[in-house]
Structure 1
Amino acid sequence: MRITQGTFSFLPDLTDDQIRAQVQYCIDNCWAVSIEFTDDPHPRNTYWDMFGHPMFDNPDAAAVMMELTACRKAYGNRYIRIVAFDSTHGWESVRLSFLVNRPENEPGFRMERTEHRGRAQRYSIRPYSSDRPAGERYA
């Protein structure tokens, strides 16, 4: 199972040079870049933990890549993504988000079905990783 979230999610994993180029594109467009990580990649989990502070007024991608290296060292067996925020009036939202790190083993999701009144079926999706407590999901 391969988690597909964000831009480039159906492509092979980006190399560090490709990540650097995308980060530089974000900086050239005056977007604030930040690094986030999680061990719960559920599609509705939009609030990941932020690594460090958002990087505003960054002149080049080297600082972001240095932070990414530090994040991979600390949380290398979790999902890590780069997020680019556009603070331009009228946008004020995320313009670009893509995964830059995955755990070695991605257990995926299971579909749970429950029967309700009138034999109606309801479905929900739950990640296998949530069977273990936070912080121990990809140990």
Structure 2
Amino acid sequence: MHMTLGAFAFLPDLTEEQICRQIDYCIANDWTVAIEFAAEVQNRDTTWETWGVPMFDVRDAKAVLAEIRACREAHPKHFIRISAFDPSRGWETVRLSFIINRPRAEPVVRFDRSESQFRALRHRAQPQPERRAMGGRF
């Protein structure tokens, strides 16, 4: 199953040139760029590990791309994403986040829905132990 997380989730994977343009956009807006990675992710999962430290003073997309390549080499079977943090007073939040690397076989997740007291619906995502290649049925 193709995980749909962040911006551009329903588009084909971005090329290196497109990633570079997005990083340039973040830098032009004075956003801090960070590279994050995770072995398994869910739609509501917000825990990712940061690659190095956020790049507060980096003004060149090529430097960020070099770090992306190093992260991909170290974690080829992980999800990797770019997050751009806006430190402006009043915002102080992530303004852009998108996946730049996916494992070949993404995790299979089953969603269970149950009804509880007062007909309240409860949803639960249950990861399945087996992993299938993208495009496979589950």
Q: How does 1:53-132 map to 2 (within 5 A)?
A: 53-114=53-114, 116=116, 122-128=122-128, 131=129
* Percent of residue pairs bearing the same amino acid type: 50
> How has the CA–CA distance of structure 1 residues 90 and 121 changed in structure 2, closer, same or farther, with 3 Å as cutoff?
closer
Q: Alpha-carbon deviation of 1:74?
A: 0.5
CA shift digits 1:68-122 (9 cap, x unpaired): 0000001111100000000000100000000000000013311234565688763
Give the match for residue 21 of structure 1. Answer: 21
Q: Is the 8 A contact 2:3 2:43 kept in 1?
A: no
Cα distance in structure 2, aligned partners of 1:122 and 1:110: 14
Q: Is the 8 A contact 1:42 1:126 kept in 2?
A: no
Q: Which runs of 5+ in 1 are unaligned?
A: none
> How has the CA–CA distance of structure 1 residues 53 and 117 changed in structure 2, closer, same or farther, with 3 Å as cutoff?
same
Q: Is the 8 A contact 1:2 1:106 kept in 2?
A: yes
The total of aligned residue pairs comes to 132
Q: Which amino acid aligns with 1:54?
A: P
TM-score, normalised on structure 1?
Answer: 0.85
4+ residue runs over 2 A deviation: 112-123
Cα distance in structure 1, aligned partners of 2:40 and 2:3: 11
TM-score, normalised on structure 2?
Answer: 0.86
Cα distance in structure 2, aligned partners of 1:47 and 1:24: 25
Cα distance in structure 1, aligned partners of 2:98 and 2:82: 6
